Amino acid sequence: MAQVHVTTREGEVRTLEAEGGSPLMEVLRDASTGVEGTCGGMCSCGTCHVYVVDEWVARLPERSEDEAMMLEALEDFVELRPGSRLACQIVLDDDTSGITVEIAPAA
């Protein structure tokens, strides 16, 4: 099981448990944290935008070109930070267990 520490848009801090191999977006969506995941994880809607805390940014794989383009499209609507990621592109496993994220504002 992987752990996720999440701060919701309302400031509530929660710790979630997830099966290894689960996309972070699904875990956050299913736990009613405010993440919608409208596109089902296809990296095309931006409704799973999260801010990954600084100490985790370098531990994750680089953004794909598609993810970077989707985040760039959100820039006119919400603040982007160095830790901005789409949760659908982060897979939870032993390496990502303990990740800490904040749910970004809705676009």
- Domain extent, residue 97, equals 2-103
pLDDT computed for residue 107 by the predictor? 75
Q: How many domains does the chain have?
A: 1
* Single-letter code of the amino acid located at 42: M
- pLDDT single digits (tens) 16-68: 999 999 999 999 999 999 999 999 999 999 999 999 999 999 999 999 999 99
**CATH number of the domain bearing residue 9:** 3.10.20.30
- pLDDT single digits (tens) 62-90: 999 999 999 999 999 999 999 999 999 99
